[in-house]
């Protein structure tokens, strides 16, 4: 039995959770759009061709924001091809597919309304520039009386889309990116594009491209140079990170959440260095707008080129993957003071928590559940959690705590939710937490445990499939191991390799 502990005190908080932390990502890649969110003729399709079974799962998952239309796709995208009655099919070199553009900006805006999510749009700064970004913004957001805004009305949308969040390109530091450019060039282009877009719509939130991942050779230097050029013109810098188990090394993989925290802290340090250098009062926040588990394969192994909506990146996730995703959600919450937007990539079929079959069912992957629980219960103020925990030596990240945890307090109800991952594969963990400081006049005897749900399985490789869609799902933990509070101390036994959600209330 491993043993770990921490103390909860509402006087020590990280910051308020921005609801946009629970975002996702829809890119024109593989079957994310076609036979994912959009499949006219499907038995569950509505009048717009949107799959209602997918919409139901998106709402259940608690997604608040969706980034669109890419991703690598956006760096060669011509938005005009996807509006109006005549759509133009194009070769899509980023993912070696044929893009029909039958689902475009208007369809995405309508889908976002149906799903109840806030749209986050990316502009093409790969093959295009300032003028094309301004044209797209005018089409999307201007009320009327100009060529492009009137064209939107002519296409059936008299009301503007009102998109507030915009990404200034995608992964422009990457050699694989169409239109890749060095930091100095991108920083000038991002600043010029941001200034022009704000002339049209001053209330926008703008995201500059950070490094594509932590191990990029230009990481840190890229952020410094881009922000030095664009600091006054943008609100956020982006982070992207994907993790996977390699070489049958689950210990390193389960430490991904800690690696994610290191990444966040390094970017925060760089942002604040530029702030000090430029002598600015404003702080740049973070948009972690791509993150997930991704088992990458070479493109030639995935599909023949130049197909419409080929089956690409359709990972099937295990219990181990789901626990790792839980750790990544904990990492985001633990840095809620600076991470204001986050998008799990992607939403449907492509490295996704939701899977579909053309003409068939939709179901939840194992990774669906930690996200849904975090989105439901992770609202409020993040309390500072500093666990005392045993550690494990990992090949990839060195010494890592076996307990990864955070807690979120809803000030209105007083409910506190503890999110905890036991990374140990060799046994359960007894968790004790001093919660006496959570006593209030309304609950002088302290809070009680409302529920303790756990995601675990005897087989760490267990997966949800079309044939068995509920193999891996949260279950209430009952009996002697279930969480309980006695004398102001919370005690719970966390199963090995598990994601736990413990809710405390009156």
pLDDT tens figures, 4-49? 999 999 999 999 999 999 999 999 999 999 999 999 999 999 999 9
| Model pLDDT for residues 166-223, shown as the tens digit of each residue | 999 999 999 999 999 999 999 999 999 999 999 999 999 999 999 999 999 999 999 9
Closest CA to 60 of 464, 334, 354, 388: 354
Which H or E run includes 277? helix 256-278
- Whether pLDDT at 325 is above 70: yes
Confidence of residue 162 (pLDDT cuts 50, 70, 90): very high
Q: Which are the contacts of 446, defined by CB distance < 8 A and separation ≥ 6?
A: 435, 436, 438, 439, 485, 488
DSSP notation for 371-400: HHHHHHH--SEEEP---B--EEEETTTEEE
pLDDT confidence bin for 305, thresholds 50/70/90: confident
pLDDT tens readout for residues 420-431: 999 999 999 999
| Alpha-carbon gap, residue 96 to 114, rounded angstroms | 30
Contacts 24+ apart (CB under 8 A), 50-55: 50/110, 50/111, 50/114, 51/356, 51/362, 53/356, 53/361, 53/362, 54/348, 54/354, 54/356, 54/362, 55/114, 55/115
Q: Is the dihedral of CA 47, 53, 56, 62 positive or negative?
A: negative
C-alpha distances in Å from residue 445, one per residue of 322, 399, 412, 440, 504: 36, 39, 18, 8, 13
Question: What does the alpha-carbon distance between residue 269 and residue 258 come to, in Å, rounded to a whole number?
Answer: 17
pLDDT at 435 over 80: yes
Walk across the sheet containing 307-308 and list its strands.
90-92, 97-99, 307-308
Does residue 228 surpass a pLDDT of 90? Answer: yes
Per the prediction, the chain carries an average pLDDT of 97
pLDDT at 373: 98
Please provide the CATH number assigned to the domain covering 18-377: 3.20.20.80
pLDDT at 444 over 70: no
Band (440; pLDDT cuts 50, 70, 90): confident
The answer to whether 389 and 403 are in contact (CB under 8 A) is yes
Q: Is it the case that residue 441 has pLDDT exceeding 80?
A: no
* The pLDDT of residue 53 is above 90: yes
Question: Residue 300: pLDDT above 70?
Answer: no
- Residue 258's alpha-carbon distances to 263, 284, 309, 381, 479, in angstroms, are 9, 22, 35, 21, 31
- Over range 353-380, report the average pLDDT: 98
Q: What is the pLDDT of residues 245-274, one digit of tens each?
A: 999 999 999 999 999 999 999 999 999 999
Q: CB–CB of 400/391 below 8 Å?
A: yes
* pLDDT of 445: 72
Buried b (16+ CB within 10 A) or exposed e, 13-50: bbeebbbbbbbbbbbbbbbbbbbbbbbeebebbeeebb
Active site amino acids? 171, 290
pLDDT at 303 over 70: no
* Residues 73, 78, 81, 82, Cα dihedral to 10°: 50
Coil vs helix vs strand at 317: coil
pLDDT value of residue 443: 64
- Model confidence at 129, pLDDT cuts 50, 70, 90, reads very high
What is residue 153's predicted lDDT score, i.e. its pLDDT? 98
| pTM of the predicted protein model | 0.97
pLDDT band of residue 360 (cuts 50, 70, 90) is: very high
pLDDT of residue 298: 74
Strands 165-168 and 236-243: unpaired
The per-residue pLDDT for range 76-112, each reduced to its tens digit, is 999 999 999 999 999 999 999 999 999 999 999 999 9
Residue 354 has pLDDT above 80, yes or no: yes
Q: Are strands 403-409 and 381-383 parallel, antiparallel or unpaired?
A: antiparallel
Q: What is the CATH number of domain 2-10+382-505?
A: 2.60.40.1180
Report the b/e string of 463-492 with b at 16+ CB within 10 A. bbeeeeeeebebeebeeebbbebeeeebbb
Percent of residues, the chain, with pLDDT higher than 90: 96
Distance CA 109, CA 106 (A): 5
Domain residue spans in the chain? 2-10+382-505, 18-377
Of the candidates 382, 376, 396, the one whose C-alpha atom is nearest the C-alpha of residue 324 is 396
Closest alpha carbon to 169 in 153, 184, 181: 181
**Long-range pairs for 143-146: beta carbons < 8 A, 24 or more residues apart:** none
Band the pLDDT of 450: cuts 50, 70, 90.
Answer: very high
């Amino acid at each position: 039995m491993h043993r770990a502990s921490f103390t909860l005190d509402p006087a020590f908080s990280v910051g308020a959770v921005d609801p946009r932390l629970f975002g996702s990502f829809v890119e024109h890649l593989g079957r994310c759009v076609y036979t994912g969110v959009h499949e006219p003729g499907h038995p569950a399709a509505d009048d717009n061709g949107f799959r209602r079974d997918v919409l139901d799962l998106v709402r259940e998952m608690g997604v608040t924001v969706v980034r669109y239309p890419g991703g690598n796709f956006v760096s060669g995208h011509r938005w005009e091809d996807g509006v109006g009655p005549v759509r133009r099919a194009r070769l899509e070199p980023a993912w070696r597919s044929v893009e029909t553009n039958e689902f475009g900006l208007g369809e995405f805006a309508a889908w976002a309304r149906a799903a109840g999510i806030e749209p986050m749009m990316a502009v093409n700064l790969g093959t295009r520039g300032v003028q094309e970004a301004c044209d797209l913004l005018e089409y999307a957001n201007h009320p009327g009386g100009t060529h492009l805004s009137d064209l939107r009305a002519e296409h059936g949308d008299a009301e503007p889309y009102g998109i507030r969040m915009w990404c200034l390109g995608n992964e422009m530091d990457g050699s694989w990116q169409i239109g890749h450019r060095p930091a100095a060039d991108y920083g000038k282009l991002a600043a010029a594009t941001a200034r022009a877009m704000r002339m049209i719509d001053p209330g926008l939130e703008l995201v500059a491209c950070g490094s594509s991942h932590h191990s990029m050779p230009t990481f840190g230097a890229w952020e410094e140079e881009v922000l030095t050029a664009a600091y006054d013109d943008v609100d956020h810098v982006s982070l992207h990170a994907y993790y996977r188990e390699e070489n049958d090394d689950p210990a390193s993989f389960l430490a991904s959440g800690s690696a994610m925290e290191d990444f966040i802290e390094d970017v925060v340090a760089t942002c604040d260095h530029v702030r000090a250098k430029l002598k600015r009062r404003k702080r740049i926040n973070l948009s972690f707008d791509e993150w997930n588990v991704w088992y990458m394969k070479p493109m030639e192994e995935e599909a023949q080129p130049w197909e419409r909506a080929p089956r690409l990146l359709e990972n099937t996730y295990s219990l181990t993957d789901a626990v790792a995703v839980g750790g990544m959600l904990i990492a985001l919450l633990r840095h809620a003071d600076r991470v204001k937007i986050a998008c799990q990539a992607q939403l449907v079929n492509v490295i996704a928590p939701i899977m579909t079959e053309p003409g068939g069912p939709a179901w939840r992957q194992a990774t669906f559940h930690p996200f849904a629980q975090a989105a439901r219960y992770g609202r409020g103020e993040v309390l500072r959690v500093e666990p005392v925990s045993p550690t494990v030596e990992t090949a990839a990240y060195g010494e890592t705590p076996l307990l990864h945890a955070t807690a979120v307090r809803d000030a209105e109800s007083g409910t506190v939710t503890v999110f905890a991952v036991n990374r140990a594969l060799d046994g359960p963990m007894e968790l004790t937490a001093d919660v006496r400081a959570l006593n209030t006049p309304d609950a002088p005897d302290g809070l009680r445990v409302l529920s303790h749900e756990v995601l675990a399985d005897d087989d760490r490789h267990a997966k949800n499939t079309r044939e068995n869609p509920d193999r891996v799902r949260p279950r209430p933990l009952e009996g002697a191991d279930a969480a309980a509070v006695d004398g102001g101390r919370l005690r719970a036994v966390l199963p090995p390799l598990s994601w736990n959600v413990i809710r405390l209330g009156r």
